[in-house]
């Protein structure tokens, strides 16, 4: 049985920017390619990655990133009303930035770990298994 890991926007950006945590994300992707892990990402957090790339690199770079993400062994999960409500609950209870709450909500609803480098998730360590990059 595969374990499931939710990627936060910061983890995916770390991978693409080849920052210090990139090898950890690359290893997770390798494991997913070998069917040893399932990687999920909330559509809201994918939107953060797309927006950041568009803002910093322009339309062509954002479109290129879109193609690369489509080739990754990762499922982008739509944010439905239930996920939005759970994200709202997390926002009220823990004060995490709202977009990040969607990563936490997805991890919680899937019983998954959350991979991130965003220290805002520190307050959720007793609720969700955090994999720090």
Instruction: Give the pLDDT score at 98.
Output: 96
Task: Estimate the crossing angle of helix 98-110 against helix 9-17, to 10 degrees.
Answer: 100
pLDDT digits (tens, 9 = 90+) for 87-97: 999 999 999 99
pTM for the full predicted model: 0.94
Overall CATH class of domain 3-132:
alpha beta
Range list of H helices, 36-119 = 43-71, 81-94, 98-110
Cα separation, 11 vs 25, in Å, equals 7
Q: Domain ranges in the chain?
A: 3-132
Instruction: Give the pLDDT score at 1.
Output: 43
Instruction: Give the pLDDT score at 2.
Output: 62
pLDDT digits (tens, 9 = 90+) for 28-67: 999 999 999 999 999 999 999 999 999 999 999 999 999 9
Spatial contact of 56 and 17, defined as CB atoms under 8 Å apart: no
Q: In what helix (H) or strand (E) does residue 78 lie, and over which residues does it extend?
A: none
């Amino acid at each position: 049985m595969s374990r499931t890991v939710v990627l936060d926007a910061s983890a995916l950006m770390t991978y693409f920017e080849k920052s210090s945590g990139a090898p950890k994300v690359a290893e997770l992707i390798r494991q997913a390619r070998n069917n040893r892990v399932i990687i999920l990402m909330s559509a809201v957090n994918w939107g953060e990655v797309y927006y950041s790339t568009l803002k910093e690199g322009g339309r062509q770079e954002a479109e290129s990133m879109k193609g690369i993400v489509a080739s990754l062994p990762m499922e982008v999960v739509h944010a439905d009303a239930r996920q939005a409500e759970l994200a709202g609950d997390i926002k009220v209870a823990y004060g995490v930035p709202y977009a990040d709450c969607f990563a936490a909500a997805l991890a919680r609803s899937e019983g998954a770990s959350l991979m991130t480098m965003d220290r805002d998730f520190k307050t959720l360590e007793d609720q969700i298994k955090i994999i720090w990059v």
